[in-house]
Structure 1
């Protein structure tokens, strides 16, 4: 996995998702992922909640990477949402979250899943990238920033 566009498509970006809390976020992101993957939304939500019980996927700086391994999924799938207002996420730094990258992987995608998580984490942890994501005016601009983030890191 060399860059986020390996598993994030331009039409899997939401520049202005409005949710009241983490539960609503997971439901909306799972519904969007379900439309793209054919996996039932409730299966995705269950996987995200199961992972979240191990510890929050909100890892600081207003960012979160909810993720899960999904039975029946045959490829890695990403979905990015910028929230219209930050929500409580029980993040490690206790700050509310407004940048969320959903990552779904096949059950047997061990190393690829970890590489993808690391790539997303690097992109979102980069303060300049996070600031640009918060300031981008369109989903196309968001996608371009995310798709290019790994290439910039590698350079």
Structure 2
């Protein structure tokens, strides 16, 4: 599975302004719901419920909020670089400035794990993180995560 299979250029946000984890989840839920043509409330609730199990802040300023949602047909990703790092209750207590939202079809377990592993693998790359943090446009941000991901190793 490749990142390009579940994220599109229009699903990338540069300098998202939000002062809290809950606000980031609200904004990204609204954008994802609009892009997918589904109701926002179940998306936000599923993300909030997932965060109650433990923060999706994986460290090094990165969070990957993810959940299964009824009505989602294919894995859907959205990448946001925040305008200012926020507390996300990450495992290393470092404020988060990169958020990759991942929504998976409600009944799919295999897609969930494959997509999550794919995103985590990309965001572990210091080269990718450097490009994400230095991007000046949505196109550059998209290219940082997708083109790097799809190039041969």
TM-score over 0.5 for the alignment? Answer: yes
Q: Which runs of 5+ in 2 are unaligned?
A: none
1:58-85 Cα offsets, whole Å, 9 max, x none, are 0000000001100121111111100000
| CA displacement, residues 101-138 of structure 1 (integer Å, 9 cap, x when unaligned) | 00000012211111110111111111221111000111
**Alpha-carbon distance in 2 for matches of 1:10, 1:84:** 19
How many residue pairs get aligned? The number is 153
Aligned-partner Cα distance in 1 for 2:94–2:126:
15
* Aligned residue number for residue 60 of structure 2: 61
TM-score by length of 2: 0.96
Q: What are the ranges of 5 or more consecutive residues in structure 1 without an aligned counterpart? A: none
What is the CA RMSD across the aligned residues, in angstroms? 1.0
For residues 8-61 of structure 1, the C-alpha deviation after alignment (integer angstroms, 9 at most, x for no partner) is 000000011000100100000001001101121111110101111111100000
Structure-1-length-normalised TM-score: 0.95
What aligned pairs does 1:40-59 form with structure 2 within 5 A after superposition? 40-59=39-58
Corresponding position of 2:85:
86
Match of 1:22 in 2: 21
Q: Comparing 125-134 with 59-68, which one deviates more in the overlay?
A: 125-134
Distance 2:138 2:71 in 1: 29
Following superposition, which runs of at least 4 residues in structure 1 exceed 6 angstroms of deviation?
none
Q: C-alpha separation between the residues in 2 aligned to 1:66 and 1:53? A: 11
Structure-to-structure mapping, 1:109-128, within 5 angstroms: 109-128=108-127
| d(CA) in 1 for partners of 2:33, 2:109 | 22
